[in-house]
Chains A and B, each alone.
Chain A
Amino acid sequence: MTFVSAEKDAANRTMTFIAEFDAPVERVWSVWSDRDTLERWWGPPEYPATISEFDFVAGGRMLYRMVGDPEGEHLDGRLRFISIDEPREIVYDEAFIPAEGDPDEQPLNRSVVTFEATGDVTRMTIITTFTSDEEFEQAVEFGALEGYEAGIGQIDAILAEKGTSA
């Protein structure tokens, strides 16, 4: 199974999400560092993302839009990369931009993504912490925009077609 665990702490508005991949750490890193690859997985299937700006350096920015199917609802998001330590850690702040919003508004959450390799298995840990009240309200609105079904069943199919190396 790819998915390992998700711990949520409402009092601290923090989520710790852990997943393991059957791939060396460099390959897992590349799904983050390569713009075209990142674009393929960043948005959920019903909300595919288009990345319009991608500057994968500390202080750099990523701008994206998720467009909902079939209503064409969309959500603009922004990431600010705080630090990048290849291939160990990525820290970024994230915000959503309302239609008339300022693209440089305050961050909504901070995520720390770490990668740990054990042989050919890479563990990815994401710790996301939501910030102050105002951004939190926004996030709740963002939540209302979603409403897609999680496709966990996909994982088994993927693992099955991979085949384990003898």
Chain B
Amino acid sequence: MVVRSTELSDAEIDAVFHSLADRTRRDIVAQVVQREQSVSDLAERYAMSFTAVQKHVTVLERASLVHKRRDGRRQIVSADREQLQRAQALLDEYERLWRQRTDQIASILAETPPEGATP
């Protein structure tokens, strides 16, 4: 009998995906990949409060995509390049897998000609 996973609720899973779909967070990563910046610097870019930007940074930090450190009163955000590179490698792997699957699907579809095709 299949039991649903209790490790992570559907709501939590949805929250993860929801967080990744956020445009501001994507932009924050793009910014700090170029150079590390303080949360205040980042906050100036967006039409939202410092606190809201800080929350976005925290979400990215949980995903290990950025790191935050204190510099006096400032919070400096930097990108985790290694993590991004690993993500890239994984995505490359998945692209390869799907290219192969697509080839195989095409072969299967080619086997049986559609109705009404000339023999």
Residues of A within 8 Å of B101, CB to CB, are: 41-42, 44
Residue in contact with B114 in the complex, picked from A23, A40, A128, A140, CB distance below 8 Å: A23
Number of interface residues of B (CB under 8 A): 51
Q: CA separation between A159 and B117, bound complex, in Å?
A: 15
Name which residue of chain A comes closest to B99, CB basis: A150
Q: CA separation between A19 and B106, bound complex, in Å?
A: 10
What's the interface size class on A, roughly? Answer: 35 or more
**B99-A143 in contact (CB<8A):** no
Residues of A within 8 Å of B91, CB to CB, are: 8-10, 13-15
A19 → chain B, closest Cβ, in Å? 4
Chain A contacts with B in 5-32, Cβ cutoff 8 A = 6, 8-15, 17, 19, 21-24, 27-28, 31
Residues of A within 8 Å of B4, CB to CB, are: 104
**A2-B106 in contact (CB<8A):** yes
Residues of B within 8 Å of A27, CB to CB, are: 109, 114
Top 8 nearest A-B pairs by Cβ distance? Answer: A41-B104, A11-B29, A8-B91, A143-B93, A10-B87, A10-B88, A19-B102, A6-B95
| A interface residues with partner B (beta carbon < 8 Å) | 2-3, 6, 8-15, 17, 19, 21-24, 27-28, 31, 37, 40-42, 44-45, 61, 93, 104-107, 110, 120, 124, 126, 128-133, 136, 139-140, 142-143, 146, 148, 150-152, 154-155, 158-159, 161-162, 165
